[in-house]
Amino acid sequence: MKNIHIIDDTLDAMADLVIENGLIQRIDILDGTPDPSQPVYLPAFTDLHAHFRDPGLTYKEDVESGSRAAVRGGYTAVNLMPNTLPVVSSVEQARDVEDRIAQLDLIQANQVVSMTLNEHGQDCSHLRSIPAGSIPFVSDDGKGVNRDDVMEEIFNICKEKDFLIMAHEEDARYSPQDLRMAENAMTFRDLQLCEKAGGSIHFCHVSTIEAITAIAEAKAKGLRVSCEVCPHHIFFNAEQANYYRVAPPFRNDADIAALIKGMQDGTVDAISTDHAPHTPEDKANGANGISGIETAFSLCYTKLVRGGFLTINQLVKLMSTTPSAMMRVAKGSFKVGMRADFVKVDLTTPYVIRSEEFASRGKNTPFEGQQVYGRVLETIKAGKTVYKA
């Protein structure tokens, strides 16, 4: 690759790249100033939090449509939540999903295993049979674990086996009346359990000022906590989104400002999509979720970089460098030995989001007709083009 403009978490330069066997073998930084009107190459994105609905709910999405949606959005690695049908509660089930995705040769996927059996919130004994270090994450995403004793046992097992807990923070006792209290109460409890039991926890789709403040305080105390935010929670407030149904819900401007501050000061570790495709019928019947993997970069670049809140380098760190490291994938920056996973983007030409163009089976989005910047032109995995606009 000759005379291309590359940007990662630290670089912004013209360069020649030598790629062999799917890896970056050499990087020659060139003299000269990049032309801002020309497309740029970024490390391809990694999504720590997505739903492909496979097995069992493939009328919403399957591994092929989800993979094609991912590369259309610039992603070459995804971390899939286990709330399928049946729930993925074993390594064998996880490997089946991963193998079927690998056969498509579009993306790399990790299938998360549920942290309670079948996500019933009552029994985590299945985790004891999983070999230590054999999986990176466990999660009951879509549900919070309401029983304190079960959640404490999960912390103890995961500390012993080096599994990272990915927590959907929603106390079901409060959900019918107050979704803010539901998120905050469980966030506070899990921070206390983390301090008591040790181990580590990753907070999914943080959305409130109270939760992000508590996480920042926990980090300052030295607790092993990390967190993610979602593009939709920073782009629109509840009124702008017309109260579109997501879990957790769209919040207010003060919450958005707190999430952005968290990205600026390092409290937030990653931007994840929570890609949640649904049929029109399911959305009409009240299903929560956004088909978000194809619009994530454009929403974030438009709001955060063009809006003056982050540099492009900071955005790359949140969408690629750090989540790649957390998912244990050797990609996410322009370094010799890294996998040659890149995304070519147009940062200067606006375009309009049209859900009919989505590769995902889920066309559910509150961003229909929204003008944004940052169209993905090409996605490259291990030196091979897997998507081209």
Question: How much is the pLDDT for 230?
Answer: 98
pLDDT digits (tens, 9 = 90+) for 353-382: 999 999 999 999 999 999 999 999 999 999
Yes or no: say if 5 and 34 are a contact pair by the CB < 8 Å rule.
Answer: yes
Query: DSSP letter string over 289-304?
Result: -B--TTTHHHHHIIII
- Give the pLDDT confidence score for residue 117 in this predicted structure: 98
Q: How far apart are CA 204 and CA 280, in angstroms?
A: 25
Q: What is the pLDDT of residue 106?
A: 98
In the chain, domain spans = 43-335
* Residue 44 to residue 171: CA distance in whole angstroms: 35
Grade residue 323 by pLDDT with cuts at 50, 70 and 90: very high
User: Tell me, what's the pLDDT at 282?
Assistant: 98
Residue 30's pLDDT is 97
- 162 an active-site residue? no
Domain 43-335 superfamily per CATH: Metal-dependent hydrolases (3.20.20.140)
Q: What is the mean pLDDT of residues 110-130?
A: 98
150-204 pLDDT tens trace: 999 999 999 999 999 999 999 999 999 999 999 999 999 999 999 999 999 999 9
Are the CB atoms for 306 and 347 separated by under 8 Å? no
| Choice among 32-41, 55-64, 77-86 with the minimum mean pLDDT | 32-41
**Rounded Cα distance, 364 and 69, in Å:** 13
Residues 6+ apart with CB under 8 A from 282: 60
Taking residues 105-125, report their average pLDDT: 98
Q: How many CA atoms lie within 13 A of 208 on its CB side?
A: 19
User: Which candidate in 274, 282, 341, 346 is catalytic?
Assistant: 274
